[in-house]
Amino acid sequence: MSNAHRWMKLGAFLPPPGHHIAAWRHPEGRADGGLDFAHYLQLGQTAERGCFDFIFLSDGLGIRTHYRSEEELSHWGRIVNFEPITLLSALSAVTRNIGLTATASTTYNEPFHIARKFASLDFLSGGRAGWNIVTSVTDVEAQNFNLDRQPDHATRYRRAREFMQVVTGLWDSWEDDAFLYDKETGRYFDPSKLHILSHKCEFFSVRGPLNVARPPQGYPVLVQAGASDDGQDFAAQWAEVVFTAQQTLPQAKAFYASLKEQMAAYGRAPEQSVLMPGVFPVVARTQTEAEDIYKSLQDLIDPVVSLGLLETQLGNVDITKFPLDEPLPVLPKTEGSQSKQRLIWEQAQRKGLTLRQLAKEVAAGRGHRLVVGSPHTIADALEDWFINDAADGFNIMPPYLPGQLTAFVDLVIPELQRRGIFRSSYDGPTLRGNLGLPRPAHPRLRSHR
């Protein structure tokens, strides 16, 4: 693929203290950052200074860690944090260009609520909202919503597909120019441009219309991160940004080509979706400094926490029955994240890691690609995948915050700009515009073309 006029896309994935499981224990990590707006204000403005396309906030509807006692749980970081749409609504007032992407579950929300909240965020931000669509993958979340266990994988995805039909239908309740606000005639809107959804199917009965006008972007940008067979098919139909996880260039190239091909079955062109693997970069001015930072983080890992995290990442498979100093055996199928389980199992086999070694490695990037080095080393790693049809960009996962985000902006961004593969200013005021994604026309206009 030619690189002419093609900018690398970058997301800033910002959990409160950082991505490393021991980030909250690092001398420069903000252990209390999850409930400190000033911390997020600094992060948002730093990412915007670096011309990142968007801020990306993950979310779970409960304490998602796998633990056997409150004592074990007390050793984890990232236990409490703001609800992401609320946080991004506040950040919309103190940022100008950067996109604002929040995670929200199709399993434990109602379509009307999600449609209204993201439409509101899109208006508040002037067209910078993005929705990371998840189906949720833990029983602990289900237990906060009147269930003992989560629905099975297939049911969650069936509900998600119908959820998307309802949400997009609600965003299309009004045509773009429906509201007249005509004081002389007394007509607040043109009734011919109101469309009642009247949806009734397996999971939802929703009449509509939405009590927010059509969002500035038409729809907020739709983001999705599942890589199971169901997840890929869902992404091929709906996703405009795909957050994915691969460890090697061949893996990434295969996923990239496969998903772009699958989009054709839904009448979508390859450029209608941006693929952005996660990358965990440890950056410093020199290779030695970067390796020292990584080692200092690894030395802070609590073994109890790393093993608990590994169980969670493997889909809550009980690993206590496996010897710690032997390879990870073949695992049973999970109702959690099937793609993450497969990715980590393959990582262990490829590197010949024991269970103990795997737990420590997963504690860093959670199965995402780890790159440690100087600005030149990090830029080489990103450019390699970008120019070889393995990625359209990357979701950057700083090890600890704010220090490693600042280092990336100050050291790596200028190197990417020098190579002519990353912007030096924003292309426009909307997230869609900066990502190069089209604004969806209202269905009534599509049908008249």
Query: Average model confidence (pLDDT) for the chain?
Result: 91
- pTM across the whole model: 0.91
Where is pLDDT greater, at 347 or 207?
207
Structural domains in the chain, sorted by start: 9-288+368-447 (3.20.20.30)
pLDDT of residue 332: 67
The token duo for 98 is 């950067």
Q: If you average pLDDT over each of 15-29, 271-285, 297-311, 351-365, which comes out highest?
A: 271-285
Q: What is the C-alpha to C-alpha distance for residues 175 and 445, in angstroms, rounded to an integer?
A: 9
279 to 127, 284, 288, 315, 372: CA distances (angstroms): 27, 16, 20, 21, 10
* Structure letter (DSSP) for residue 7: P
pLDDT band at 120 (very low <50, low <70, confident <90, very high): very high
Is residue 304 helix, strand or coil? Answer: helix
Residues linked to residue 310 through DSSP beta bridges, in sequence order: none
Tens-digit pLDDT profile for residues 232-276:
999 999 999 999 999 899 999 999 999 999 999 999 999 999 999
Tens-digit pLDDT profile for residues 200-237:
999 999 999 999 999 999 999 999 987 788 889 999 99
Is residue 335 helix, strand or coil? Answer: coil
Q: What is the C-alpha to C-alpha distance for residues 285 and 147, in angstroms, rounded to an integer?
A: 50
User: Sign of dihedral through CA atoms 388, 394, 396, 397?
Assistant: negative
The DSSP line for 72-136 is HHTT-S------HHHHHHHHTTT-SS-EEEEEEESSSS-HHHHHHHHHHHHHHHTS-EEEEEE--
